């Protein structure tokens, strides 16, 4: 069975600082990996996804993530955080041909001005 671990429940960064949110997955084959963001009171929105190929993927809002098979990780990064990035971030894993995604428990990001 596939699973996702987001070890950080809360993270606080200063505006303009760099950001890295951790995601570790468990899956026997090549996983399909996603990062979604949830702004307060909203549904989730896709930031980026990885299926194959280049292990560094670019997403919306200046985010990127790197797939590292050896570490079973798919960490999300942003070079300079904006106050509007304050939200909850979810990593998710899917399997090839699978009907569903498995979500992590989320990381709540707070941005200090």
Residues forming the site for other proteins (CB under 8 A): 9, 32, 36, 41-46, 49, 51, 90, 94-101, 103-106
Question: In this complex, which beta carbon is closest to other proteins, that of residue 41 or of residue 113?
Answer: 41
The answer to whether 2 and 31 are in contact (CB under 8 A) is yes
Q: Could you tell me the smallest distance in angstroms from the CB atom of residue 79 to other proteins? A: 24
Relative to beta strand 19-21, strand 73-78 is: antiparallel
Q: Could you tell me the smallest distance in angstroms from the CB atom of residue 41 to other proteins? A: 8
Q: Which of left, alpha, beta for 65 (phi over 0: left; psi -120 to 50: alpha)?
A: beta
């Amino acid at each position: 069975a596939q699973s996702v671990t987001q070890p950080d429940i809360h993270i606080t960064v200063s505006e303009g600082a760099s950001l890295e949110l951790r995601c570790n997955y468990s899956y026997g084959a090549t996983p399909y990996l996603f990062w979604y963001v949830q702004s307060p009171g909203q549904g989730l929105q896709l930031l980026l996804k990885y299926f194959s190929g280049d292990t560094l993927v670019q997403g919306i809002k200046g985010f990127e993530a790197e797939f590292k098979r050896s570490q079973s990780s798919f960490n999300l990064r942003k070079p300079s955080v904006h106050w509007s990035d304050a939200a909850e971030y979810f990593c998710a894993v899917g399997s090839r041909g699978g009907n569903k995604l498995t979500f992590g428990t989320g990381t709540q990001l707070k941005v200090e001005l």
